[in-house]
Amino acid sequence: MDITIVGNSKGCMKGKIPARTLMAIMTAISCAIVLGVGPSAVAAISIARPNFGVPALVETGDTFQAEVKAAAGLTNTQWSAVFLNDLCAWTGAVEQVAYGTLADNNTAAGYRLTIRLPEALPPEVFRLAIRHATGGSATNRNAVSVLTCIETNFYIFHYADPQAEAYEPNNADTGMYGTHGSIRELYWHAPAVRLANPRFMFDTGDELDNAYGTTVARYEEYKDGMCQMGVAVLATRGNNDNVISTADWRSTIGVESYSITMGSFYVCQKDYNENNFTTWFTNDYSCSFTNPAIGYRLFGQHFNSGGRAWLPPAGQYPNLMLVGHGHANSTIQSSPYYIVETQQACNKGAVGFFEFAKTSTNWVCTSLANVPAAQFQLMSSGSTSKLTCAYAYTNDGGAYSNTATITNNLSKRFWDGRVRFLMKYSALGYQVTNGVRLAEYPYNNGSNLAVLVKVNIAPSATTVVSLGRVDTDEDGMPDDWENLHFGGPTNANPDALAANGVNTVREAWIADLDPTDSESFFRITAISNLPPWTVYFVGSSNRQYTLHGRTNLVDGVWTTVPGAGPRLGAGGTDAMPDTNAPSAGPFYRMEVKLP
């Protein structure tokens, strides 16, 4: 919502300047459902990266690179990219396109697309759909994880050896089938992982047992379960992932050896079965030491000996190496660098919990001070989890308020926990108690709102987070504001005149005015009459302002003054200069809206 006021640079504006225009521009994020992201009738393409096991981790609004295998000669301007979750879709921008030997660690021909995330994309994990108008289309699941900030403290789950040997377990307590795992238990682990919300799951191999993982379809079953986790998965092959071909592994999971750089944090995974990329891997890892921006190196592989294990050379040690394979919790070595083994995830959801703290100069893994305490099981027995969430009302979009009660029977604090509320649509959205609202977006053709909330989940305790409408009577004004000025959420008539005699009560809310004060106006207070023209106004730090200009009021259109918003107000007397104003002196229009 916004209000516009107009002023002229010929002299200073005096008196009360009325609000001329009220435009209903809501701050809720629009989700544009984009057609044509499914299988194409024309020649097929495939997305080599990001993929399920080799995702992109990107800050909101930033760019990442996608590798697409397709025939040469496709027109650069005909690519499109869409990000999809279970509710709706957002369109990204393909900013650059290159063709060459650019896929699979620069060994396969393909296109490298530089894709920018839309600013509105919430911090969740998305399917990535890439389409070319004549080349075809493809979609990878769990491919892009959106982060609010990369250079901030985070934690991960080391998820070693899920090693499913059957779909259903034959041990109702552990979730295992014989001495190995089952697909079903992935679904049992998923709700706890979604709640804890590690930045990523670090899967160091043996996704399936070699007696079971004989086909791509079995690995798709594994992906189905892992995608329920709701977080990024960084995976590589173990010795039991050796039945399906390397080509099938790459198309299903992603390239088997790779690195990911998250700002100053470097992560790499080395394949245990083949040496296809040993030269590439060695060079890539070595180059991380010539990059002064890199402050931490996390190394993953199935095990540190046997198979195609790779050990860093002297002088190029990682900060931490995580391995599995032995089905045990063990600190294999602490010097010259840590190698930590975590027991098999298929035994009651065993994980290693590793926290990384950003210091002023570097990163540090605080969990290494007490590794045994960082390794635990998510499940108490079978499908019974140690970390659960119960809603007061069914979380299906049918309520205007809800409460989530999170019970944590683990001794760990998950300070970046997540809950997503599905609510009825409310024009002014929802406010959160005991949590931080990260994103809010409409779905179901605008009938509902999804509200993503960050929750600090206390250890060995119950944490309650609740959600309620900002505006319970849906009159376009928040309850808190109406309580302050009118003594109740239903006492104000939004269409009545405010005390200033110019604005309606609803307009007073939009401009952050006092509707009971006859001297409270949204106004341009002055305009300097010498270049560079400067427009002065009284602004609120809770509202966003944009300056528009035009040379006369008869011809032409209003255009945004370069560099003059949108931005938050200063919370009092404020000013926006127009350094490009023509000598004749323009007219100005100031716009205010909800941030």
User: Tens digits of per-residue pLDDT, 504-552?
Assistant: 999 999 999 999 999 999 989 999 877 778 999 999 999 999 999 988 8
pLDDT of residue 552: 83
pLDDT of residue 3: 52
How large is the average pLDDT for residues 292-317? 97
Q: How does residue 585 score in pLDDT terms, banded at 50, 70 and 90?
A: low
Residue 250, SS3?
Answer: helix
How large is the average pLDDT for residues 477-504? 92
Q: Report pLDDT digits (tens) over 182-196.
A: 999 999 999 999 999
**Cβ neighbours of 358 (radius 10 Å):** 19
Rounded to a whole number, what is the distance in angstroms from the first to the last CA of the chain? 9
Question: Quick check: 429 pLDDT over 90?
Answer: yes
For residue 465, CA distances in Å to 399, 420, 460, 461 come to 15, 11, 16, 13
- In degrees and rounded to multiples of 5, residue 464 shows phi and psi of -115, 125
Nearest-angstrom CA–CA distance, 342 and 354: 11
Question: Quick check: 41 pLDDT over 60?
Answer: no
CA-based max dimension of the chain: 86
pLDDT of residue 579: 84
Nearest-angstrom CA–CA distance, 399 and 401: 5
pTM above the 0.85 mark? yes
Do 404 and 419 touch, CB atoms closer than 8 A? yes
Q: Report pLDDT digits (tens) over 361-414.
A: 899 999 999 999 999 999 999 999 999 999 999 999 999 999 999 999 999 999
pLDDT of residue 21: 29
Nearest-angstrom CA–CA distance, 548 and 534: 12
Type of residue found at 106: N
| DSSP state, residue 570 | -
Q: Report pLDDT digits (tens) over 139-154.
A: 999 999 999 999 999 9
pLDDT of residue 9: 43
User: In 241-355, where does DSSP find H-type helix?
Assistant: 246-252, 278-287
Q: How does residue 10 score in pLDDT terms, banded at 50, 70 and 90?
A: very low
Residue closest to 519 by CA, chosen among 546, 543, 538: 538
Question: Quick check: 457 pLDDT over 60?
Answer: yes
Q: How does residue 594 score in pLDDT terms, banded at 50, 70 and 90?
A: confident
How large is the average pLDDT for residues 413-437? 97
Instruction: Enumerate domains of the chain plus CATH numbers.
Output: 2-17+522-593 (no CATH), 46-146 (2.60.40.10), 154-381 (3.60.21.10), 387-469 (2.60.40)
